[in-house]
Amino acid sequence: MKYVPVLAKRTMFTYFIIMFLLYLFYTINFCIVDKQPTLKTILKSHISKYKSGAFRFASFLGLDVADYKYTRLSRNAGPVRRLPDALIIGVKKCGTRALLEFLRLHPDVRAAVSEIHFFDKYYHKGFEWYRERMPLTLEGQITMEKTPSYWVTKSAPKRVYAMNPSMKLLAVVRDPVTRAISDYTQSASKRPSLAPFEQLALSNRSGCSAVDPTWAPVRLGVYARPLRRWLRRFRRDRLLLVNGERLVADPAAEMAKVQDFLGLKRVITEKHFYFNSAKGFPCLLKSESSSSPHCLGKTKGRNHPRIDPTALKRLREFYRPLNEIFYRLSGINFGWP
């Protein structure tokens, strides 16, 4: 009696084969005699109806089809929109745009076209709204987004952590004095009537000029405060501080660190860059959208205005102790003057 189930399964399997052969013979005859659509078309239209039944039948016979189904899914899976795996969270005027454009060279990186501002302005719209603004990616590719204002948004670390506690974060930092001047230069290009840098950066207190820590271009250069906020939520190994000066002076070396951090193969190398002496900035020999050499745009590499040496000295004195705090917190000495 113990052989009955085995014999029954064999009988059913034989019956299944016979029925399949009869169906195949019928389909071929249907195509040849009646001049209907091709065999390939007929089979394609009918196979989906019998696929689930075939899997159930195979399972009944004791065959494991889970691996086969997973392999087929992985092989045929198309591009989908996913929530980001990594974020460029800042810092404004430190080279975030350059970092993103350099990363676009990598075939396993796809990034949102523009700054989404989800975690600072549009969080109330929900994760599905955010997902819809992400690029299409294949399995194994990294989805990225860049919004520099996340760095200083107090609620951003908590919100990012709620979405993905394993998020990889990248922040580009540079000499805060140079960053402040670059910030001012961008604003002045849009507002020609803007007061001189020295007048905005320094305030007269008791007849003595002192740095105004409330002025946004100065305040953004105090990196320790936002970093401490992000480290309350994320482990230090989840946040990479990219050296903005090195990104300009030796982009290939700095991008090697970035690729390692993201778990990517080192595809972006020296062959992708050339230095534009007129702009004082590295440009791309090719990019995701173009195979010809090009730079990041007219707004990148602007000439900074001449700043009074006294103002520069005051700013350096102001930032020096704050930079030391940042070095200790980050574990990196950037060597800013």
Binding residues: 93-97, 174, 182, 300-304
In this structure, what are the phi and psi dihedrals at residue 220, rounded to the nearest 5 degrees? -65, -20
H-assigned helices in 191-304: 197-201, 216-219, 224-231, 244-249, 251-262
Give the dihedral of Cα atoms 163, 164, 165, 166; nearest 10 deg.
-170
Distances (CA, A) of 257 to 85, 148, 246: 17, 20, 11
Q: How far apart are CA 175 and CA 172, in angstroms?
A: 11
Extract the tokens encoding 133.
């603004």
Q: Please, what sign has the CA dihedral across residues 300, 306, 311, 312? A: positive
Half-sphere exposure of 189 (CA within 13 A, CB side): 14
Among residues 311, 308, 334, 312, the alpha carbon closest in space to that of 323 is found at 334
Q: How far apart are CA 161 and CA 149, in angstroms?
A: 16
In this structure, what are the phi and psi dihedrals at residue 9, rounded to the nearest 5 degrees? -65, -40
Name the catalytic one among 2, 35, 40, 93. Answer: 93
State the distance between the two ends of the chain, measured CA to CA, in whole angstroms: 90
Whether residue 146 lies in the annotated active site? no
Q: How far apart are CA 158 and CA 305, in angstroms?
A: 39
CA 335 vs. chain centroid, Å, equals 28
Extract the tokens encoding 303.
């000439």
Among residues 31, 33, 52, the alpha carbon closest in space to that of 41 is found at 31
Binding site for 3'-phosphoadenylyl sulfate: what residues are annotated? 93-97, 174, 182, 300-304
Question: Catalytic residue numbers?
Answer: 93
